[in-house]
Amino acid sequence: MRKFIKEKGVVMPLDRANVDTDFIIPKQFLKSIKRSGFGVNLFDEQRYLDKGEPDSDNSQRPLNPDFVLNQPRYQNAAILLTRDNFGCGSSREHAPWALDDYGFRAILAPSFADIFFNNCFKNGLLPIVLDRALIAGLFEEVTANAGYQLEIDLQEQSIVKPDGTSINFEVDEFCRHSLMNGLDDIGLTLEDAAAIQAFETQWRGQAPWYFTTPENS
């Protein structure tokens, strides 16, 4: 997994609450058996004026000029600023894959849906929960200043604004460590393989009914 230490980039405001994962990446793109290439279909329904399909040539599709992602000032955005309950709905990891593939590195919101929040950390994306008033303030600053950038420092757990002031944020210690070191969860867990084995043996003795199949029940 790619490491996240310090990232600086243009902030894109998405002024909507309850942005669901269908909105982030519509279902027709979930048919792929790959985990890359979803960036061109990020926010597909809002971003393009026609309906996209997995085999569409996206470079030929008409863009929706009103959608924030298509506005020149937000090109190459790396930080997404949004409202409450971002990422609700389906557990599809295609949502963080699409955000990551497009180029987003961090998401700032007052709250996130649990499964999406968790999926972000598995993909080098940093979701940051900030107080609602702070988010509202950032929305004002971003819309008032073209080219508005933030620098996110995970080591210091701080967000540095263009005027040099900073906002501190909380992050789970395990997630922070994994992100900063680009660690693979499975590798870490397998270091405890002996403990898992021991648990399984004990559990099989204590609750053998969970280990039955139609053949041996």
Residue ranges that bind other proteins, judged by CB under 8 A: 15-18, 20, 22-23, 26-28, 30-35, 45, 51, 54-55, 83-85, 88-93, 96, 111, 113-115, 118-119, 122-123, 172-174, 177, 185-186, 188-190, 192-193, 195-196, 199-200, 203, 207-214, 217
What is 113-172 written as a DSSP string?
Answer: -HHHHHHHHTTT-EEEE--HHHHHHHHHHHHHSTT-EEEEETTTTEEE-TTS-EEE----
Cβ(80)–Cβ(12) below 8 Å:
yes
Residue 17 CB, nearest approach to other proteins (Å): 6
Residue 8 CB, nearest approach to other proteins (Å): 26
Between 30 and 180, CB nearer to other proteins: 30
Between 9 and 39, CB nearer to other proteins: 39
Between 55 and 57, CB nearer to other proteins: 55
**Structural tokens at position 126:** 């940093």
Specify whether the backbone of 121 is left (phi greater than 0), alpha (psi in -120 to 50) or beta: alpha
Between 34 and 164, CB nearer to other proteins: 34
Residue 205 CB, nearest approach to other proteins (Å): 12
Find, among 139, 156, 147, 141, the residue nearest to 4 by Cα. Answer: 156
Residue 31 CB, nearest approach to other proteins (Å): 4
Helix (H) or strand (E) holding 8: strand 6-14
